Amino acid sequence: MVMKARLIKTYPGFKLLAELYIDGPIILVGRNGSGKTTLLRLIAGLERPDQGAIEVNGRNVTNLPPWQRRIAYVSPETYIPHMKVKDHLRLAQRMKLDHIMDLLREYSIPFEERVGKLSMGQREVVAILTAIAADPAALLIDEAASNISRRRELLERIIEIIKPRSMDMIYVSQVKEDSELFDS
């Protein structure tokens, strides 16, 4: 999967200029207010660019609604609190859940528990795994792993899962050390 984007978005006092060519997992590291979330929201179709285009596998998706782009966007608030973990995952299930079930066990996440009763870190794991289960062309993770105690391990496993599927990933973080995982 190859994603290309050339985008301009202007807000009062801020102008985002972005040009990306993505073929696999990448990380964006930066301070608050540097435009990382805006860029992901533009790619996901949650905001419209003032100028520019987004292509996924050579297809212009700029004017498509978010649900037609095959791009999963995960933020720290991406979960449905009253829903059980198993139902949350089934919302998006397109691929086999073997890897996902293993990760739920590794992070001690009860399959029958309501998501709202989980810790913040567990909720973030469920949100990320739900996005992966949808088998999108691209996965956008917007600081949605900041409360996960074993974040590095989880990111390594996510990269293992998505690489054979040729799934692109943009991971946004303020933690500079996270970028070490994306150097290989």
Give a yes or no: residue 133 inside a domain: yes
Give a yes or no: residue 82 inside a domain: yes
Give a yes or no: residue 184 inside a domain: no
Query: How far is the C-alpha of 51 from the C-alpha of 148, rounded, in Å?
Result: 36
**What digits encode the pLDDT tens for the residues 25-82?**
888 888 888 889 999 999 999 999 999 999 988 899 999 998 888 898 888 776 667 7
User: Does the structure show a pLDDT above 70 at 97?
Assistant: no
Give a yes or no: residue 54 inside a domain: yes
Indicate the number of domains in the chain: 1
Handedness of CA 89, 95, 101, 106 (dihedral sign): negative
Question: Which whole number is the average pLDDT over 117-143?
Answer: 86
CATH of the domain at 69: 3.40.50.300
Contacts of the segment 49-55: beta carbons below 8 A, 24+ positions apart: 49/7, 49/8, 49/9, 50/8, 50/9, 50/10, 51/7, 51/8, 52/5, 52/6, 52/7, 52/8, 52/18, 53/5, 53/6, 53/7, 54/3, 54/4, 54/5, 54/7, 55/2, 55/3, 55/4, 55/5
The answer to whether the predicted template modeling score (pTM) of the entire model surpasses 0.95 is no
**What digits encode the pLDDT tens for the residues 107-126?**
888 888 888 898 888 888 88
9: pLDDT confidence band, cut at 50, 70 and 90? Answer: very high
Give a yes or no: residue 77 inside a domain: yes
**What digits encode the pLDDT tens for the residues 12-29?**
988 988 999 988 888 888
Question: Angle at CA 74, nearest 5°, toward 43 and 110?
Answer: 160
Strand arrangement, sheet containing 138-142: 25-29, 168-173, 138-142, 71-74
Q: Which domain holds residue 82?
A: 3-179
Give a yes or no: residue 134 inside a domain: yes
Give a yes or no: residue 38 inside a domain: yes
- Token representation of residue 18: 């972005």
Question: Which whole number is the average pLDDT over 127-156?
Answer: 83
